[in-house]
Amino acid sequence: MGIYLNPGNEGFREILQSEYVDKTGLIALVNNTAGTMGKLICISRPRRFGKSYAAKMLCAYYDCSCDSRALFDDKEIAKTEGYLTHLNRYHVVNLDITGFISEAARMNMPLSHVPNMIVDAVYRELTESYPELDGKSLTDAMISCVEKTDTEFVFIIDEWDALIREAKNDTEVQKKYLHLLRGWFKNNNFTPRVVAAAYMTGILPIKKDGSQSAISDFREYTILDPGRFVEFTGFTERDVQLLCEKYGMDFEKIRQWYDGYDFPGYGAIYNPYSVMCAMQDQKCRSYWQKTSASESLMTYINMDFEGLQETIARLIAGEEVEVRTDRFENDFETFKSKNDVLTLLIHLGYLTWREEDGTAQIPNEEVRMEFEKILEGTGVSRKWMELISRSRKLLEDTIAGNAEAVAKAIEEIRDTQYAPMFYNDEQALRYVIKFAYIAAIDQYLKVEELPSGKGIADVVYLPKRKSVLPALVIELKWNQSSEGAIQQVKERNYPAVLKDYGGEVVIVGINYDAKTKEHSCVIEKV
């Protein structure tokens, strides 16, 4: 049993001793490809979506150096055809590329040494386990191993693209690494004879420009289109319901915080890392901030592409936005438009993608909190500062009851690039209102069309946590009157839904007159 060759099942055994949601059905999908033309699989997912757990599970299942029946006999995989056929029947090469990068850094070695480090590590363990092997190179030794042991190899490579990302400006390092992968997975004298299956994970899909042709034979399953692996992208809704029952957590609250990644024909997928942290801590909060990915968000949203700032504002305001994902070049450097930036944010998990209508949005409360940090003003662009400053002043005037200032501020927002192109109905007015109050997002929970009293309130802002801020009920009218909006709120008793809130409620009536092209506002406090 080694570290990189046949690492055994201890990693998965440790996982099982913690809370484990059965995802062994993924093994059956890999089993179905073993020994076929589709045996090379590449999975790209955001960080914290269980890629490393899956790698440890596959190692324990395929590794011929251990007996893992006790770990899998009561799991979903045991019910499938071929369970025993593949169980502990292969040599396993298990590589976490980030580990090699960290080791090179620790030894003050350049990244160009990483490919040789990988080869040396596997070759050393292989020849120590089988000293009788022929061949001085790793590939020759592996061919000899298959011939002498009648056992093929399964490759499990976690974070395969880490070196590509780290050496983004060093084409020689990239070429050296890709040459190594080509020797394993695109070699007619090696791949058919040695490789039974390969399962690689990464953050981004394979580049489209052909520079990563060494792995072009891999079948890709991305966060944009996880295909038959969709169930294993994260936790399903049923998974989360069972966890909530076990831990005594409020499912609806968990849904609000961690749901939002939806796929056509399948439904909701939850971030497994955050859900498990919430269960164990008995608290819903953002666990995203503990990852290095969150540090880069400001860099991406401040990129100077026409329309990007406005689109980010729409996302923070709770809108869905159209995104062209087909031109993204699958790297962290080549951005030609705002669509490329938004597509990267989808791959990183900051946005969720709706393939059926080509739109993206912020998926849940946890990720929204990361976007809301933008509102704190550190390092943001001048456009952001102007919008947020204007919005904060609007919020202050609203709470103070300064209706004239509120109407004027909404006029100013209407005249900016944030407003919809066609300002011709109440929905367009609502769109502007959400931008106007964007600064409220970090202090309030915004609810649209909230059932209340005898009707539905247009937009309600509920103060987060314990707060002295008043709740806001905003009623919108088009070609009517702001006084009529206030009257409707009173007649239909919209504040009734806030009876348990206990604090002050500010009622805001806003009307737009299409003839005069003016907004009017009336504010009352309850």
Q: What is the CATH number of the domain that holds 64?
A: 3.40.50
The rounded percent of the chain whose pLDDT value lies above 70 is 90
Enumerate the β-bridge partners of residue 509: 475, 522
In this structure, the answer to whether residues 121 and 86 fall within a common structural domain is yes
Average pLDDT over residues 165-169: 85
Which of 354, 376, 398 is the last residue before a domain boundary? Answer: 376
Rounded to 5 degrees, what angle do the CA atoms 269, 358, 274 make?
25
The tally of domains found in the chain comes to 3
In this structure, the answer to whether residues 480 and 508 fall within a common structural domain is yes
In this structure, the answer to whether residues 222 and 361 fall within a common structural domain is no
State pLDDT tens for residues 360-386: 999 998 888 888 776 665 556 677 777
State pLDDT tens for residues 130-154: 998 987 899 999 999 999 999 999 9
Q: Is the pLDDT of residue 486 over 70?
A: yes
200 pLDDT band, cuts 50/70/90, is very high
Domain at 520, CATH number: 3.40.1350
Average pLDDT over residues 425-451: 77
Per-residue model confidence (pLDDT) at position 419: 58
Cα end-to-end distance, the chain, whole Å: 71
In this structure, the answer to whether residues 137 and 73 fall within a common structural domain is yes
Q: Is the pLDDT of residue 403 over 70?
A: yes
The answer to whether residue 4 is domain-embedded is no
**How buried is 237 (Cβ within 10 angstroms: 0-12 exposed, 13-18 middle, 19+ buried)?**
middle
Per-residue model confidence (pLDDT) at position 28: 97
pTM of the predicted structure, to 2 decimals: 0.83
**HEC string for 461-518:** EEECCCCCCCEEEEEEEECCCHHHHHHHHHHCCHHHHHCCCCCCEEEEEEEEECCCCE
Q: Where does 69-150 show beta strands of DSSP type E?
A: 91-96
Per-residue model confidence (pLDDT) at position 169: 81
Per-residue model confidence (pLDDT) at position 410: 86
Average pLDDT over residues 506-526: 89
| pLDDT, the chain, mean | 87
The answer to whether residue 274 is domain-embedded is yes
Q: Is the pLDDT of residue 214 over 80?
A: no
In this structure, the answer to whether residues 254 and 220 fall within a common structural domain is no
Which of 376, 400, 433 is the last residue before a domain boundary? Answer: 376
In this structure, the answer to whether residues 70 and 25 fall within a common structural domain is yes
In this structure, the answer to whether residues 487 and 365 fall within a common structural domain is no
In this structure, the answer to whether residues 172 and 273 fall within a common structural domain is no
Average pLDDT over residues 187-200: 95
Per-residue model confidence (pLDDT) at position 259: 87
Per-residue model confidence (pLDDT) at position 209: 58
In this structure, the answer to whether residues 192 and 277 fall within a common structural domain is no
Per-residue model confidence (pLDDT) at position 266: 84
Average pLDDT over residues 52-58: 94
In this structure, the answer to whether residues 62 and 174 fall within a common structural domain is yes
DSSP per position, 133-144? ---SSHHHHHHH
State pLDDT tens for residues 439-471: 787 778 788 776 655 556 678 888 876 667 888
The answer to whether residue 2 is domain-embedded is no
Of 86 and 413, the one with more pLDDT: 86
Per-residue model confidence (pLDDT) at position 232: 93
Q: In 364-456, where does DSSP find H-type helix? A: 365-372, 382-400, 403-414, 426-436
Q: Is the pLDDT of residue 56 over 90?
A: yes
Report how far residue 9's alpha carbon sits from residue 305's, in angstroms, rounded to the nearest whole number: 48
The rounded percent of the chain whose pLDDT value lies above 90 is 50
Report how far residue 223's alpha carbon sits from residue 83's, in angstroms, rounded to the nearest whole number: 27
501 pLDDT band, cuts 50/70/90, is low
Q: Is the pLDDT of residue 294 over 70?
A: no
Per-residue model confidence (pLDDT) at position 289: 64
Q: What is the span of the domain harbouring residue 425? A: 382-525
Average pLDDT over residues 418-437: 73
In this structure, the answer to whether residues 72 and 210 fall within a common structural domain is yes
Report how far residue 394's alpha carbon sits from residue 387's, in angstroms, rounded to the nearest whole number: 11
At residue 123, φ and ψ (nearest 5 deg) are: -65, -40
The answer to whether residue 3 is domain-embedded is no
The answer to whether residue 320 is domain-embedded is yes
Rounded to 5 degrees, what angle do the CA atoms 439, 380, 436 make?
25
**H-run or E-run covering 447:** strand 444-452
The owner of tokens 């993608």 is: 353
State pLDDT tens for residues 308-345: 877 888 888 778 889 999 888 887 778 888 999 999 99
Q: Is the pLDDT of residue 243 over 60?
A: yes
State pLDDT tens for residues 65-99: 999 999 999 999 999 999 999 999 999 999 999 99
**H-run or E-run covering 221:** strand 219-221
